[in-house]
Amino acid sequence: MKFLIVILGFVTIVNGACESGKKATAETAKVETQNNLKKISWSAYTRGKQELISVTEISLVVNENGTVTKEKNITSEDWKALNSLVEKLDLNEISNLEAPSQKRFADADLASKIEINTNSASFTSSEFDKTQPPKTLVPLTNMIKNLAGY
C-alpha cells in the first residue's frame, strides 16, 4: 500500500512538471515574438498560380508567379499592429490549426499558409483555403492582405 502511494505521488509530480514545461514553452514563444519578430509571410498557391506577401519591419513585398508586383514601406504603427496580432497567437500550435473548409483540395480555392519568422525559429501554419483561414488567423491574414491592397 505504501508503495502505491509513493508511485502515485511520483506520477503526480512528474505530470505537474510536464504541464509547467508546456506553459513555459508557450510563454517563451510569446516573449521571443515580442522581441524578435523578423518577418511574416502569407502565401497562396495552386498548380498555375502563386501569390506571396512578405512583411518585415520596414517593407512589404508582393510576389505573383515569381515576379515582384508591389513593394512599399511599412509604417512603425503597422508593424506594431502586426506584432500585436502575432502575440495573441500560440505559435507552437499554428501548425495544428484546422482549416474550416477544404476547397483547395478540388482546386476551387488556393491553398494558403502563414509563416512567422523570429531570430531563432520559424513557425508555419497548417494549410487553409485562401478565402477561409482558421478563425485564430483571420485578423492577421486580413491585415496582411489589406496592407498589400488585396
114/120 Cα distance (integer angstroms)? 17
> What topology does CATH give the domain 2-148?
Mago nashi protein (3.30.1560)
Q: Where are the beta strands (DSSP E) in 19-139?
A: 37-46, 49-56, 59-64, 67-73, 111-118, 122-124, 128-129
Question: Region 81-96: what's the mean pLDDT?
Answer: 94
pLDDT at 15: 53
pLDDT tens per residue, range 71-85: 999 999 999 999 999
pLDDT tens per residue, range 95-137: 999 998 888 888 888 999 999 999 989 999 999 999 999 999 9
Question: Is the pLDDT score of 19 beyond 80?
Answer: no
Mean pLDDT of the chain: 83
pLDDT grade for 4, boundaries at 50, 70 and 90? very low
Question: Is the pLDDT score of 32 beyond 80?
Answer: no
